[in-house]
């Protein structure tokens, strides 16, 4: 078995209540209960996400102060410089703010740091370069700044005010920003916001919502007919790519945003969809694996300016060359990633000890720092250990980490602060800079923490199943109803089911251009159903009487619909 299976407990009373009051199939009701939606009203809101359910943006800590300062800048004709970040979240948030502010009376300039030359976030060098290019007294730091205490203190002493719009963990001592808009802020004026998992483009949307409300309150004509919904394509792009939970407000924003991506008139996204060969309807997977990586490509290797220009492009003539360039850069990124990953896997397969290696830490000056985060994610997939991969950055090693459930990566880095030059991030992803000579001690310290924090069963990837079911229950109507739980993503995974006591009705068949996939025909003796196991041809095929862990899907072809199972894992039946 590749996974550690666990099935959610049956909740017949809660399920029957949802079945009765919302007219749902029992399987759908069980999946809603599993996701924490056992009250009919709550479940109904989850199944029918609406923009009017969004909370008051002023509930977010620091939002009122940001609105007040930005409004003063507008009235004075004062320049606002948006200092963004080079990932999809930072670029899409920067584009959203640039579009809104420039169209509603603000004087706006943008600046994106260079990954290789300036590093991540609001560093001293990046801030200095930004203000040399755009002399101003008001900086809006987006997707960074929550830990930039020294930089913001220096800027303040030089008469530059900083508004921080960020969703990363804050430093123990908060930066002296004019406004710190961060759901995790402990600012004295903070109010417990109803939803804290917004990424920066979500916060940017909340900021322009608050500014629009202020404009309407003041009877400003240019705000009376403002429609923010066309900006939701950018919100969906950044939110999905940043891997924040698709719950609460993120679910509402992404559900609406996907509709706008599919109908968008934004030239940059039209060109991006074309070069990525993404067909409508665009879904979460298309953003995560096709659109997002291309927007990320420029910032990973050099500067993200090209990606920002793409999202701001007004015509296809302007957008198409930019999209083609990003596509080329993405192929370069993939080749770099492939080379580094191949080297690492060869090393780790020879040295990895599952009994002792609780955390994987690897670094080399030749590794390109633009792709080490992706490589860390790939290594984690292979070994299921918290992983940090570092590359060369002048005299330093700089890298990215990805984690697993039970190991708070940001907290672990804080425990290693004496070995590090810089660090920051989330529980599940973080960045780090250190001196090469500290790498062995850093690896040892993290493994000591892993040994304390992680139990052995946490080092087997979990496979959480919503319910056990039968082939008979998986009708087209029921599976279509399960699709209402989409969009699927972080903290709202696709429906995973266990179908018990099956056998192969015929010999499985290798399929695909490289014969890498497996097609099965499984039966319980009464019904037979097709199943596909992506990249399963080289795995140990199910034999005898077995249980299948699957994602049920509807295969629509030539006007016909039939249920098809996507295989996740199998085990011998009890």
Looking only at Cα atoms, what is the longest distance across the chain?
78
- Where are the domains positioned within the chain? 4-48+462-572, 57-324, 343-459
Q: Residue 193's pLDDT is what? A: 54
Q: What are the structure tokens assigned to 415, written together?
A: 């425990």
Dihedral (Cα; 314, 284, 140, 408), 10-degree rounding: -160
Q: Of 416, 462, 424, whose CA–CA distance to 441 is shortest?
A: 416
Q: Which residues pair with 411 in a beta bridge?
A: none
d(CA 273, CA 262): 10
DSSP 290: I
Extract the runs of DSSP E, i.e. beta strands, from 8-165.
Answer: 79-83, 107-111, 138-142, 161-165
Q: Distances from the Cα of 102 to the Cαs of 71, 183, 365, 447, in angstroms?
A: 13, 26, 42, 49
The H or E element containing residue 139 is: strand 138-142
381: tokens are 């997939």
What region does 534 belong to: left with phi over 0, alpha with psi -120 to 50, or beta? beta
Q: For position 187, what pLDDT does the model report? A: 47
Supply the CATH classification number for the domain 57-324. 3.90.1640.30
pLDDT for residue 186: 63
Using alpha carbons only, what angle is made at residue 493 by residues 52 and 336, rounded to the nearest 5 degrees? 110
Q: Which residues contact 70 (CB under 8 A, 6 or more apart)?
A: 80, 101, 106, 140, 163, 211
Predicted pLDDT at 427: 85
Packing angle, helices 232-241 and 200-217, rounded to 10 = 150
Q: CATH says 343-459 is which class?
A: alpha beta
Distance CA 436, CA 93 (A): 34
Residue 270: helix, strand or coil by DSSP? helix
Per-block mean pLDDT, blocks of 10 residues, the chain (574 long): 89 97 97 96 96 95 97 97 95 98 97 84 94 97 94 97 93 91 69 77 98 96 95 98 93 97 95 95 95 90 90 97 96 94 94 94 93 95 96 92 95 96 85 95 97 94 96 97 95 96 96 95 97 92 95 91 96 91
In three-state secondary structure terms, 423 is strand
Rounded CA separation 233/226 (Å): 16
What is residue 363's predicted lDDT score, i.e. its pLDDT?
94
pLDDT attached to residue 192: 54
The backbone torsions φ and ψ at residue 99, rounded to the nearest 5 degrees and listed phi first, read -65, -45
Nearest partner of 113 among 133, 138, 136, 137, judged by Cα: 133
HEC secondary structure over 167-221: CCCCCCCCCCCCEEECCCCCCCCCCCCCCCCCCHHHHHHHHHHHHHHHHHHCCCH
- Output the CATH code of domain 4-48+462-572: 2.40.50.460
Q: How far apart are CA 371 and CA 383, in angstroms?
A: 19
Predicted model pTM: 0.91
Q: What is the pLDDT of residue 194?
A: 63
Neighbour-count burial for 530-553, b at 16+ CB within 10 Å, e otherwise: ebbbeebbeeeebeeebbbbbbbb
Of 69, 185, 89, nearest to 136 by C-alpha is 69
């Amino acid at each position: 078995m590749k996974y550690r299976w666990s099935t959610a407990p049956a909740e017949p009373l809660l399920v029957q209540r949802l079945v009765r009051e919302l007219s749902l199939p029992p399987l759908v009701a069980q999946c809603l209960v599993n996701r924490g939606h056992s009250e009919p009203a709550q479940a109904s809101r989850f199944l029918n996400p609406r923009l009017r359910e969004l909370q008051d943006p002023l509930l977010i800590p620091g939002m009122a102060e940001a609105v007040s300062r930005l409004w003063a800048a507008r009235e004075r004709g004062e320049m606002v410089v948006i200092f963004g970040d080079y990932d999809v979240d930072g670029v899409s948030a920067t584009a959203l703010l640039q579009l809104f502010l420039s169209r509603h009376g603000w004087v706006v300039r943008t600046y994106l740091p260079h990954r290789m030359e300036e590093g991540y976030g609001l560093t001293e060098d990046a801030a200095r370069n930004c203000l040399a290019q755009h002399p101003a007294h008001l900086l809006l730091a987006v997707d960074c700044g929550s830990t930039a205490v020294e930089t913001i203190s220096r800027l303040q002493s030089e008469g530059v005010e900083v508004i921080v719009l960020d969703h990363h963990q804050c430093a123990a001592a908060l930066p002296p920003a004019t406004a710190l808009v961060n759901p995790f802020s402990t600012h004295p004026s903070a109010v417990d916001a109803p939803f804290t998992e917004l990424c920066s483009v979500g916060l940017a949307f909340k900021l322009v919502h608050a500014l629009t409300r202020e404009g309407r309150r003041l009877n400003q004509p240019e705000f009376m007919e403002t429609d923010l919904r066309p900006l939701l394509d950018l919100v969906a792009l950044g939110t999905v790519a940043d891997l924040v939970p698709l719950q609460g407000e993120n679910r509402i924003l992404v559900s609406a945003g996907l509709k706008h991506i599919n109908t968008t008139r934004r030239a940059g996204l039209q060109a991006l969809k074309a070069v990525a060969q993404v067909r409508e309807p665009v879904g979460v997977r298309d953003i995560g694996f096709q659109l997002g990586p291309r927007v990320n490509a420029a910032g990973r290797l050099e500067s993200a300016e090209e990606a920002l220009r793409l999202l701001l492009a007004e015509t296809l003539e302007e957008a198409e060359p930019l999209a083609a360039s990003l596509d080329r850069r993405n192929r370069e990124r993939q080749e770099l990633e492939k080379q580094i990953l191949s080297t690492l896997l060869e090393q780790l397969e020879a040295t990895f000890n599952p009994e002792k290696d609780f955390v994987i830490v690897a670094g080399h000056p030749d590794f390109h720092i633009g792709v080490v985060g992706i490589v860390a994610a790939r290594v984690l997939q292979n070994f299921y250990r918290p992983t940090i991969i570092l590359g060369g950055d002048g005299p330093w090693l700089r890298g990215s980490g990805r984690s697993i459930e039970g190991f708070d990566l940001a907290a672990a880095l804080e425990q290693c602060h004496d070995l590090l030059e810089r660090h920051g991030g989330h529980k599940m992803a973080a960045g780090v800079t250190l001196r090469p000579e500290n790498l062995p001690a850093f690896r040892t310290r993290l493994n000591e923490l892993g040994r304390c924090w992680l139990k052995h069963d946490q080092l087997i990837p979990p496979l959480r199943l919503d319910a056990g079911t039968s082939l008979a229950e998986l009708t087209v109507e029921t599976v279509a109803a399960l699709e209402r739980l989409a969009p699927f993503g972080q903290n709202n995974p696709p429906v995973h089911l266990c179908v018990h006591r099956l056998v192969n009705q015929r010999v499985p068949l290798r399929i695909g251009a490289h014969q890498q996939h497996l097609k099965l025909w499984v039966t319980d003796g009464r019904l037979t159903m097709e199943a596909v196991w992506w990249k399963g041809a080289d795995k140990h095929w199910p034999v005898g009487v077995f249980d299948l862990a699957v994602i049920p899907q509807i295969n629509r072809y030539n006007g016909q619909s039939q249920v098809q199972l996507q295989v996740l894992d199998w085990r011998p039946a009890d």
